Structure 1
Amino acid sequence: MASPWLGTLHRDFPFYHEPYNQPPAANLDRMLKAGIGKLTANVSPMSIWMAYVDWLVHVQCSPSKQQELLTEAARKIWRWNEYELEVAQDDPHAEQTSVVPLPQDKRFADPAWRRWPFNVISQGFLLTQQWWHRATTDVSGVSLHHEEVVNFMVRQILDMYSPSNFLLTNPVVLHETLQTGGRNLVAGMQNAMKDLEHTINDTHPQDRSSFKVGKNLAVTPGKVVFRNRLIELIRYQPTTETVHETPILFVPAWIMKYYILDLSPKNSLVKYLLDQGYTVFMISWKNPLASDRDMSLEDYRKLGVMDALEAVLEQTGASHINAVGYCLGGTLLSIAAAAMARHHDRRLASMTLFASQVDFKEPGELSLFIDESQITLLEAIMWDQGYLDTKQMAGAFQLLRSNDLIWSRRLNQYLLGRSEPENDLMAWNVDATRMPFRMHSEYLRKLFLDNELAEGGYCVDDQPVALTDIRAPIFLVGTLTDHVAPWRSTFKIHLLADTEVTFLLTTGGHNAGVVSPPGQPRRSYQVATSQHHDPYVDPDIWQARTPRQEGSWWPEWERWLRKHSGKHIAPPPFGKTLYDAPGKYVLQP
């Protein structure tokens, strides 16, 4: 029997989640896990511990692996000593036998690292890094997920203790210190104190930036023409005398603000499309509060995609739209399109997905943070707060690229004393949004953990939806170095869609690969179309066979879009408008 105190907790605690009707004991579990999450940067120690035990026990039960690692350790120590002797004798052979860092590892790229003793130090670190990679992989019996978690955590520890992170073992920092008489360290201390002050005061990153929404970000003229409790719908002013009769509706990810698609005029995809003669609409998501904790993924479909679609058609008088989804917005658009197709709703003339996954079996390194233990911890944190905070999400993405987003930044700011450069994409990147408890829990469980959308288990109105029902042609953009939605994962749309699919693979990552206006250097892409009756082609074979084209992918997509946009007409008049773009939701901190 529950005690009277537990009954009071059940009824009166402000963060008790009534819709799920959890018993008081479950609330205590969640309180404990939420407290653990605050101490562990929202990473489940239980998940890490289970992975470590799985790895350790199987290593102990694998004498052959132990022998291999001992032999490998002896060989690397010998190789390091041999290299040290060659360097001491100025033997040019040493440079040829040295360990070369991975292409993405720029920590030891400066020529100063090739001088003694720093070359010896860096080689020792790289050899150690190689040994630990061998130690944490290919251990017979260890589950793949646990192997990836252990390998990832070891990488984090090694990255933390890299010689590039310390004054006395980094020749670049030592040189800068001698050249400036230590002024770089003073400036670095000032940078560190500023960051600490902003952390203590919980200052919004936009407050410290010279880039401001509505001033030099998201400045394409337009009007908010529709608003509900979840979205504002922005319609942009046309810039051409005639427009294509089929309008475009953008469904951006709600994990970030919409204006990555409307940054500065020079790299705004919205402005680019307006100048090509399109009528463009954009969903701007509300930044949820604790009071929005019960917002579901179905609410995002109905209040987001479907309400916006109805408003676009009403505003323009069109019978069809071209829908575009980015990242999570593309996943949601795919769900909405499948539900529409089930009911023979053919109002989508085409569907475009930017770096969006519909099959989550292989979601890349994000899967490191997705298992039952980790999701349970996140659910406890969200139950406590009503949402997942922006800082809590940012931590996971920073860990995935710790060299670039954590240690490289601290090296430049705290040891070299340099100010962090600013640009519009970086300003957007720190302007994150929160995730409502229920919606994010459903997203993680139904899509990431259970892969329901790809496997026919995701239900809309209590009936499963299938992507094979979609008949609208699909254009999908994958980015080559995407760590959020790996392009081989997005490529699986070919296995799940029974319609024409055009797949485009472009250089760059999840964000910079999408923001790719014409004229930028070192940009290229590959593109090919497959009909629904064409045989399946493996992504690696597709990449090898498909010719590479130089330049931005935007004109290529626009040429495809033009085929599905109808004739040219006079711009439809604006109906009811509420206020000027960028609206109010995007300004919510």
Structure 2
Amino acid sequence: MSTNPLIDLFSSFDYKKEQKRWNRFCNILNEPEPKVGQTPRKVVWQKNKTTLWHYPAEEKKHEVPVLLVYSLFNKPFIFDLAPGASIIEALVKAGYDVYLLDWGIPGYEDKGITIDDYIADYLQKGVKRVLRHSNADEISIIGYCLGGTMTAMYTAIADEAVKNLIVAAVPVDFSVSAVPVEWVEGLRNGVFSMDRFIDVYSLIPSYYVGGMFQAVSSPINNSPYVTLLNRAHDDKFVEKWQRMNKWTNEHVPVTGEAFRQFTNDLIKDNKLIKGEMTVRGEKVDLAKIKSNLLVISSKKDHLVPKEQSLPLLDAVSSEDKTSELVDAGHVSLTLTSQFATVIDSWLSERSRSLQKTK
């Protein structure tokens, strides 16, 4: 063995590996888009741009169907990113009839749709369709991020029987925030307002939505490219990275009036946790929620810290309420097998097993 460190370095250098790594990194954007959303599904109901999808259980084991609701800011295929990295696939294999409410991509003609409208005209009607389609009298709802905020609001005013409510990475108490404190204080003190911006655009373009999340998460949003450079020689990793990168870069436009409510009623005035939020004139009282409740948070969530989610546990009247802290980030939570395991473990005991009722 040589005693010259320089010679030792070059003798251990894997030229083929490095060549593949750099070639793949440089050419990654020219490769075909990866496939996402591969779990079999069919359309159950549509309204405007919104679609209700059904993913039938491989072998139905639970009576209570599950409805997934995601945020307004992103596409929901993060729930079904790839085989082996899909919460939908995991639930289907575990014996649940799964439904997904896909908000779709709003156009300029949808600029006036409010959060109230999304809850009353889309979410509530979607729940009714799930109950009718599944021939069930109760439902379990899983809401993620802002989708969790909206499902909590809906459950508080729902006439339908929501047996189980699961919320993950959910912002509820906006007195705690991951965004720079100066931004929030500026909104609350009237130093600046988003109203003029909303009035001008009416429909918030997707590139502004993406820019907003990049501003909040910077420099974290650049780290995936560093990781890709280091692991571009690994085909399996690159495949997963491509799917995740596709989702990250496909933000959707947001209707101006929904964004106005999100900014003013939730971030600025914190109306939900204060009990001042209304949906079409009806007060959203979280204390009216009596459903079995599971609140899932992530240790490394830099967008929605657990302190923003956990106050929901004290606000509801549920006798059966649990919190789980998962070792993941805001987005990576959806991809970890622990997420599916936590949901199935908790939900299976509260979904009426078909085997037990026979």
Same fold, TM-score > 0.5, yes or no: yes
1:504 corresponding residue in structure 2? 324
Counterpart residue identity of residue 507, structure 1: D
2:221 corresponding residue in structure 1? 405
Match of 2:278 among 449, 459, 463: 459
Q: What CA deviation, in whole Å up to 9, does each residue of 1:507-563 have, x standing for no partner?
A: 11101023212xxxxxxxxxxxxxxxxxxxxxxxxxxxxxxxxxx242232121012
- Please say if residues 333 and 339 of structure 2, whose CA atoms lie closer than 8 Å, have aligned partners that are also in contact: no
Distance verdict in 2 for CA 1:461–1:364, change over 3 Å: same
Tell me the distance in 1 between the aligned counterparts of 2:224 and 2:68.
34
Match of 2:40 among 221, 235, 243: 221
- Report the CA distance between 1:244 and its aligned residue: 1.1
Counterpart residue identity of residue 260, structure 2: S
Match of 1:318 among 136, 142, 146: 136
Q: What CA deviation, in whole Å up to 9, does each residue of 1:67-91 have, x standing for no partner?
A: xxxxxxxxxxxxxxxxxxxxxxxxx
- Please say if residues 289 and 386 of structure 1, whose CA atoms lie closer than 8 Å, have aligned partners that are also in contact: no
- Please say if residues 41 and 56 of structure 2, whose CA atoms lie closer than 8 Å, have aligned partners that are also in contact: yes
Which deviates more, 249-258 or 385-394?
Answer: 385-394
- Please say if residues 128 and 160 of structure 2, whose CA atoms lie closer than 8 Å, have aligned partners that are also in contact: no
Tell me the distance in 2 between the aligned counterparts of 1:490 and 1:351.
14
- Please say if residues 476 and 504 of structure 1, whose CA atoms lie closer than 8 Å, have aligned partners that are also in contact: yes
- Report the CA distance between 1:289 and its aligned residue: 1.5
Q: What CA deviation, in whole Å up to 9, does each residue of 1:324-349 have, x standing for no partner?
A: 10000000001001112xxxx35101
Q: What CA deviation, in whole Å up to 9, does each residue of 1:359-390 have, x standing for no partner?
A: 111022265544336862x4333322221122
Structure 1 residue 210 and structure 2 residue 32: aligned?
yes
2:10 corresponding residue in structure 1? none
Distance verdict in 2 for CA 1:218–1:412, change over 3 Å: closer
- Please say if residues 349 and 472 of structure 1, whose CA atoms lie closer than 8 Å, have aligned partners that are also in contact: yes
Counterpart residue identity of residue 346, structure 2: W
2:177 corresponding residue in structure 1? 363
Tell me the distance in 2 between the aligned counterparts of 1:501 and 1:358.
16
Of the two structures, which has the highest relative contact order with CA contacts closer than 8 Å and spacing of 6 or more?
2
Tell me the distance in 1 between the aligned counterparts of 2:228 and 2:127.
46
Tell me the distance in 2 between the aligned counterparts of 1:231 and 1:339.
21
Superposition pairs for residues 531-550 of structure 1, below 5 Å?
Answer: none
Tell me the distance in 2 between the aligned counterparts of 1:512 and 1:268.
11
Which deviates more, 505-514 or 398-407?
Answer: 398-407
* Structure 2 residues without counterparts, runs of 5 or longer: 1-14
Distance verdict in 2 for CA 1:290–1:410, change over 3 Å: farther
Distance verdict in 2 for CA 1:410–1:508, change over 3 Å: closer
Q: What CA deviation, in whole Å up to 9, does each residue of 1:300-343 have, x standing for no partner?
A: 10222101101001101100000110000000001001112xxx
Tell me the distance in 2 between the aligned counterparts of 1:397 and 1:209.
26
- Report the CA distance between 1:404 and its aligned residue: 3.2
Q: TM-score, normalised by structure 2?
A: 0.83
Structure 1 residue 491 and structure 2 residue 327: aligned?
no
Tell me the distance in 2 between the aligned counterparts of 1:294 and 1:407.
36
- Report the CA distance between 1:494 and its aligned residue: 2.5
- Report the CA distance between 1:211 and its aligned residue: 3.3
1:515 corresponding residue in structure 2? 335
1:45 corresponding residue in structure 2? none
Counterpart residue identity of residue 558, structure 1: D
Tell me the distance in 1 between the aligned counterparts of 2:124 and 2:332.
29
Question: Sequence identity, in percent?
Answer: 21
- Please say if residues 91 and 340 of structure 2, whose CA atoms lie closer than 8 Å, have aligned partners that are also in contact: no
Q: What CA deviation, in whole Å up to 9, does each residue of 1:229-265 have, x standing for no partner?
A: 141000013211x331110011111211111111101
Counterpart residue identity of residue 268, structure 2: L
Tell me the distance in 2 between the aligned counterparts of 1:287 and 1:408.
26
* Structure 1 residues without counterparts, runs of 5 or longer: 1-179, 195-204, 518-551, 570-589
1:338 corresponding residue in structure 2? 156
Distance verdict in 2 for CA 1:411–1:228, change over 3 Å: closer
Between Structure 1 and Structure 2, how many residues are aligned? 328
1:555 corresponding residue in structure 2? 341
- Report the CA distance between 1:437 and its aligned residue: 0.5
Match of 2:292 among 470, 473, 486: 473
Structure 1 residue 392 and structure 2 residue 208: aligned?
yes
Q: Which has the higher strand share?
A: 2
Tell me the distance in 1 between the aligned counterparts of 2:273 and 2:150.
13
Tell me the distance in 2 between the aligned counterparts of 1:462 and 1:249.
26
Tell me the distance in 1 between the aligned counterparts of 2:348 and 2:218.
41
1:234 corresponding residue in structure 2? 53
Match of 2:249 among 409, 418, 430: 430
Match of 2:350 among 556, 561, 564: 564
Q: What CA deviation, in whole Å up to 9, does each residue of 1:472-523 have, x standing for no partner?
A: 1100110011111101221112221221221000111101023212xxxxxx
- Report the CA distance between 1:412 and its aligned residue: 8.4
Counterpart residue identity of residue 156, structure 2: A
Tell me the distance in 2 between the aligned counterparts of 1:423 and 1:229.
30
Superposition pairs for residues 413-452 of structure 1, below 5 Å?
Answer: 421=238, 422-452=241-271
Tell me the distance in 2 between the aligned counterparts of 1:208 and 1:490.
40
- Please say if residues 209 and 252 of structure 2, whose CA atoms lie closer than 8 Å, have aligned partners that are also in contact: no
1:268 corresponding residue in structure 2? 86
Distance verdict in 2 for CA 1:463–1:556, change over 3 Å: closer
- Report the CA distance between 1:411 and its aligned residue: 11
1:100 corresponding residue in structure 2? none
Q: TM-score, normalised by structure 1?
A: 0.51
Q: What CA deviation, in whole Å up to 9, does each residue of 1:373-410 have, x standing for no partner?
A: 6862x433332222112221222322333333248848
Counterpart residue identity of residue 267, structure 2: F
2:57 alignment partner, SS class: coil
